[in-house]
């Protein structure tokens, strides 16, 4: 059965260009020219019970926080500033009002620190699990949005924090790197950026595909989160494998054409195609094993 990326690739072929659409579907967010003053950067991200959270385990407040933070992390990925959000919720028929309020308060507690207002939405109920979607509206606010498209051979590759094992809990509790992204974009010559939601190997492949380049990741430089080590004890897969392939780290992955002392360098962009891993045994292919929905 084809994967989500087949559908998204097909959708791209359907896109119309237009003078006000600066960047259509396929990046973290779309970019529109809304006025002479500023760009409108807009996107949407959903969480589904049993896929992105487990309603039997996670509180409604933490579910609301997660869906808002995923959208805020998309803003971070483009170094733009969130302004407003719309929330759409399909509530299970047995859900009560206090559960619904907790979902909303989760949204709000994640949005408030970034001064992002929840301006509307849509609520319905059905006899199926919770589906929760947030639309984010952002401004470029003085910083040209960083896309996935301009990584060049010779650029260094960086991440903003240690990776792997987020399934142990961090995937619900991460902090979107908006301030970090805007600081990086202001101080360093960033060429491409993405937030790590699908996993390092898959998200780096997204940048490489859209920039028409390849990459070499140095295994000794990949920062490994303590959760990756803990998870490794449980499943006996090496911590590095978790750091390379686990999803939902929500750190930033970016390329930079000059030195950057505010993040962790993990490799470099190359001419050609494909991802490789530099180890003690030499270069080997780095497959994209991260998260992909099957449809």
User: What residues between 135 and 174 interact with a copy of itself by CB under 8 A?
Assistant: 135, 137
Q: Which residue has the tokens 């919720």?
A: 89
104 binds a copy of itself (CB under 8 A): yes
Among 54, 113, 119, 186, binds a copy of itself (CB under 8 A): 119
Q: State the nearest-atom distance from the C-beta of 6 to a copy of itself, in Å.
A: 6
Is 289 within 8 Å of 175 (Cβ atoms)? no
Whose tokens are 């047995």? That residue is 94
Q: Is 223 in the site for a copy of itself (CB under 8 A)?
A: no
Pick one of 58, 61, 66, 108: the residue that binds a copy of itself (CB under 8 A): 108
Both structure tokens of 295: 């449809």
- Nearest approach, Cβ of residue 233 and a copy of itself (Å): 30
Cα–Cα dist 225/169, whole Å:
12
d(CA 42, CA 145): 12
Cβ-based nearer residue to a copy of itself, 90 or 269? 90
Residue 30 or 172: which CB sits closer to a copy of itself?
A: 30
Binding region for a copy of itself (CB under 8 A) out of 121-129, 155-163, 173-181, 278-286: 121-129
In which element (H, E) is residue 107 found? helix 97-111
Q: How far apart are CA 27 and CA 194, in angstroms?
A: 8
Q: Which pair of tokens denotes residue 34?
A: 């809304």
Q: Which residues pair with 156 in a beta bridge?
A: 256, 268
CB-nearer residue toward a copy of itself: 15 or 284: 15
Question: Binder to a copy of itself among 56, 124, 220, 282 (CB under 8 A)?
Answer: 124
By CB under 8 A, is residue 293 in contact with a copy of itself? yes
How many residues bind a copy of itself (CB under 8 A)? The answer is 73
- Cross-strand partners of 253: 159, 194
123 or 173: whose CB is closer to a copy of itself? 123
The least distance separating a copy of itself from the CB of residue 291, rounded to whole angstroms, comes to 10
Footprint on residues 19-58 left by a copy of itself (CB under 8 A): 20-21, 24-27, 29-30, 32, 34-38, 40, 42-46, 48-52
Contact call for residue 93 and a copy of itself (CB under 8 A): yes
Q: ∠ at Cα 274 (290, 276), nearest 5°?
A: 75
Residue 292 to residue 43: CA distance in whole angstroms: 19
d(CA 288, CA 245): 7
């Amino acid at each position: 059965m084809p994967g989500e990326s087949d559908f998204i690739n097909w959708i791209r072929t359907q896109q119309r260009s237009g003078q006000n659409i600066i960047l259509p579907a396929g990046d973290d967010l779309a970019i529109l020219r809304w006025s002479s003053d500023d760009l409108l950067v807009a996107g949407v991200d959903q969480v589904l019970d049993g896929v992105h959270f487990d309603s039997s385990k996670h509180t409604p407040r933490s579910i609301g926080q997660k869906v808002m933070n995923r959208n805020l992390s998309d803003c971070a990925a483009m170094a733009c500033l969130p302004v407003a959000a719309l929330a759409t919720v399909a509530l299970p028929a047995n859900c009560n009002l206090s559960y619904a309020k907790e979902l909303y308060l989760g949204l709000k507690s994640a949005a408030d620190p970034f001064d992002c207002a929840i301006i509307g939405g849509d609520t319905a109920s059905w006899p199926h699990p919770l589906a929760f979607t947030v639309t984010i509206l952002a401004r470029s606010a003085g910083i040209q949005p960083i896309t996935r498209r301009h990584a060049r051979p010779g650029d260094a590759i960086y991440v903003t924090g240690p990776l792997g094992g987020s399934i142990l809990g961090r995937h619900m509790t991460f902090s979107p790197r908006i301030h970090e992204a805007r600081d990086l974009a202001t101080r360093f010559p960033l060429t491409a950026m993405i937030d790590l939601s699908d996993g390092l190997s898959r998200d780096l492949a997204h940048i490489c595909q859209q920039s028409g380049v390849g990459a070499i990741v140095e295994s000794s430089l990949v920062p490994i989160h303590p959760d990756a080590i803990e998870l490794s004890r449980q499943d006996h897969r090496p911590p590095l494998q978790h750091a390379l392939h686990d999803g939902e780290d929500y750190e930033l992955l970016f390329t930079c054409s000059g030195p950057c002392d505010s993040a962790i360098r993990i490799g470099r962009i190359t001419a050609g195609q494909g991802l490789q891993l530099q180890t003690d045994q030499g270069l080997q292919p780095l497959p994209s094993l991260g998260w992909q929905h099957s449809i």
